[in-house]
Structure 1
Amino acid sequence: MANRAYNFNAGPAALPLEVLQQAQEQFVEFENSGMSLMEMSHRGAIYEKVHYEADNLLRELIGIPSGYKVLFIQGGASTQFAMVPMNLLRPGTTASFVATGSWATKAIQEAKLFGDVSIAASSEADKYNRIPSISELNYASDVAYLHLTSNETIEGTQWSEFPDTGNVTLVGDMSSDILCRPIDVSKFGLIYAGAQKNLGPSGVTIVIIREDLIVEPSTPVPTMMRYTTHAKADSLYNTPPTFAIYMMNEVLKWVKANGGAAGMETRNREKASLLYDFIDNSNGFYRGFAQPGSRSLMNATFRLGSEDLEKQFAKESEAQGFSGLKGHRSVGGLRASIYNAVPVESIRALVSFMRDFQSRNG
């Protein structure tokens, strides 16, 4: 479509055009039912087919082994910042965190409301421009869990590999890079991710949780904040975000048709290389924020020589049809979010614009 923007928004983010067109065709009437999916009961057979198909596709594409439940929950990752400690943190135990940036910090602050917190490693001294190495991690063997944020959207950093924590439960916030590459789910006790980066629209959050962790909390927790509630009811205890789950199911079909997690990794590494290589060869006009070994495949953050020049870049790029390149308000700079659904053609167009901008302002 000629009028489609170059969408580099950090979230809600780009969706595959094919998925949007499919949803458009099915929006008013779904499967000859005489009504939209948004109008029908979540207890009916038509919606339940979509619900369980999404569950099965997630298991297949992410490689979720037996012994794990998939939950569809509302409230985004920000609600999981509270649900994880409410359900996993017991009196007298400590939750340990790797402090890697803005989202890890939010998770830490929320966990402190429910119990003791320790910091296993931090890159704050480096302005969060890197991911601590696995050898830097320092946590007690009896912590309730170790929490990491696999990809920091604001700083543009990403874990390249995950630690093997043995008997310590590893919890991962994968909101912004889930399904961007294959992962070993068995390393984790719990993974959570808001859908609005790589899985679909905002409104649904997935939780992948090992079954032995699905136990009643040791302190009073509201019904809707217990993993047991959602696990026992297959995420149908109350009305789920049905249309968001339908959209996620369609995105998962698109991922499968395009090579699954491995196909997404090939696609994402090509896009990231195009952009980072140009930045690195711009003779210092563009400067990457994240250290090279910690660079994200999903969020490329970079700076120019002055804030005024960055404002000019953001303004001119928007006029040329590029959306979302202004950095997060908390850190400034510039950011291109290049999630799964962003086509390589958008990266080529961005590099072309950046080259022209440099020629006029370098």
Structure 2
Amino acid sequence: MHIQTAAVQTLRDHEHGAVVPPVHLASTFELDAATEDAAYAYQRGSNPTRAQLEQVLATLDGAEHGFAFATGMAATAAVFSTLQVGDQVLLPASVYGGTFRFVDKVFPSRGLTGRFVDDLGALTDADFTPATKMVFVETPANPTLRITDLRRLVELAHRHGALVAVDNTFMTPVLQRPLELGADVVVQSATKYLAGHSDLLAGTVTTNDPALAEAYALAQKAQGGVLSPSDSFRLIQAIKTLPLRLDRQQANAEQIVAHLREHDDVTTVFYPGSHSEDEARIHASQATGGGAVLSFELAKGLDRVRFIQALRYPVYAVSLGGVESLICRPATMTHEAMTPQARAAAGISDELLRLSVGIENIDDLIEDLDQALAAAR
């Protein structure tokens, strides 16, 4: 089954023939008095609607197990919950600011260490110690869109007994399938492309490892950061249009990238594969497209604030992946938790702008960018 079909052919209400599954809002469920057993007992542990969503998530990622959380960071926290005191995690220097905050602020109190690496693609055996238990990677990285060779990283990490966790938010299973490349776990902020309308928060985790699956189920039950039945239902419905939305968003982004690269008022444009021919080759080998996020810097002398204020369509706001275009300044918005030194190491300048491209008409978007650039001169 192709992913476009899998996204639509979700579970149905076979009892009543409804093409849309019902929402089960119950917080508690009746048990058998003799055995005190049932498929569901309490919503935090499991819920029929959330279970349906988790089956969809697993199917899309080609996984045996799927888990839905209340936010993307709750999902990331669940992935980190498998670590023990003394463990080390390797991460890219250019990583989502929320993940950086978790490593910087929460890891120390748990006896964990995180090491931020300028280029995960340059890791060697010497970078691993007995304490290194996980490599957490974003490819493309946020917001520099740097690419990491997942096959090479998996082989290297597994040789040292370390897990590989991939944040696949930018690509989604439509464009990149890390589990099929050997990764142990995939995490996504479903708030972004999976939900796609900037109107709900959610996070997902998928894996084929039964031991990890048991740990993530425990994280749901013990920590309680689960997705509600109502939002689970809404996410099921949103996923049905994910391939269509992303196809349009990516087509728009590709045209904007080409336009900005030829524009005198723009000096640098980052898009997956733009850093080097080697990264372009790697990305083409492990993904089927560049996605719909790009970053760029204005030419020297242009007024960044005037440019943003002049835009009519992209909204100046955090987040990405919605049907509407969004633009942000990572240094002070998505990555404000990072120190200036950390941002510099990650290649995130104060002038870098990140554009999440929506499904608007491409001519309108390009015309808007051009008039805003003219206003910034």
Same fold per superposition (TM over 0.5): yes
Report the alpha carbon displacement of residue 141 of structure 1 after superposing the two structures with TM. 6.0
Residue equivalent to 1:173: 167
Give the equivalent residue in structure 2 for 1:17.
none
Paired residue for 1:73?
69
Residue from 366, 369, 376 that aligns with 1:351: 366
Matched, 1:322 2:309: no
Report the equivalent of 1:249. 236
CA contact (8 A) 2:25 2:230 kept: no
Q: Deviations over 1:255-276 (max 9, x none)?
A: 36x4xxxx94x55543332111
Q: Distance in 1 between matches of 2:102 and 2:202?
A: 19
Letter in 2 for 1:58: L
**Structure 1: distance between partners of 2:66 and 2:301:** 44
Mapped pair 1:108 → 2:103: yes
Q: How does 1:1-362 map to 2 (within 5 A)?
A: 37=23, 40-41=25-26, 50-64=49-63, 66=64, 69-74=65-70, 76-85=71-80, 87-103=81-97, 104-109=99-104, 110-119=106-115, 122-123=117-118, 132=119, 134-137=121-124, 138-140=127-129, 143-153=132-142, 155-159=143-147, 161-162=149-150, 163-164=153-154, 165-166=157-158, 167-186=161-180, 187-200=182-195, 201-209=199-207, 210-214=209-213, 227-228=217-218, 230=220, 240-255=227-242, 258=244, 264=246, 267=248, 269-288=250-269, 292-293=274-275, 297-305=291-299, 309-317=303-311, 320-323=312-315, 324-328=326-330, 329=332, 330=336, 331-338=350-357, 342-343=358-359, 345-358=360-373
Mark the runs of 5 or more structure 2 residues left unpaired by the alignment: 1-17, 30-39, 41-45, 281-289, 316-325, 337-349
Residue aligned with 1:197, SS = coil
Give the count of matched residue pairs: 290
CA distance in 2, matches of 1:308, 1:284: 8
Give, in angstroms, the shift of residue 194 of structure 1: 2.2
Structure 1 residues 71 and 136, CA, compared in 2 at 3 Å: closer, same or farther?
A: same
Aligned equivalents of 1:335 and 1:56: distance in 2?
A: 33
Partner secondary structure for residue 88 of structure 1: coil
1:299 Cα deviation from its structure 2 partner: 2.5
Secondary structure at the aligned position of 1:230 is classed as: helix
| Deviation for aligned residue 1:337 | 0.8
The normalised TM-score by structure 1 is: 0.65
Relative contact order higher in (CA < 8 Å, ≥ 6 apart): 1
Whether contact under 8 Å (1:80, 1:192) holds in the other structure is yes
Tell me the TM-score normalised to structure 2 length. 0.63
Structure 1: how far apart are the matches of 2:120 and 2:88?
22
Structure 1: gaps (5+ residues): 1-30, 124-131, 217-225
- Residue 159 of structure 1 aligns to a residue whose secondary structure is coil
CA distance in 2, matches of 1:306, 1:215: 53
User: Is this contact kept in 2: 1:89–1:115, CA < 8 A?
Assistant: no
Partners of 1:136 and 1:215 in 2: CA distance: 30
Q: Distance in 2 between matches of 1:307 and 1:299?
A: 25
SS at match of 1:325: strand
- Equivalent residue letter for 1:334: L
The CA deviation at 1:252 is 1.7
Q: Determine the C-alpha separation between the residues in 2 that align with 1:112 and 1:298.
A: 35
| Aligned-partner residue type, residue 182 of structure 1 | Q
What is the one-letter code of the residue matched to 2:113? V
Residue 145 of structure 1 deviates from its aligned partner by 1.4
Instruction: Indicate conservation of the 8 Å contact 1:307/1:333, yes or no.
Output: no
Which amino acid in 1 is paired with 2:220? H
1:57 to 1:305, Cα distance in 2 relative to 1, 3 A: same
CA separation in 1, counterparts of 2:78 and 2:229? 22
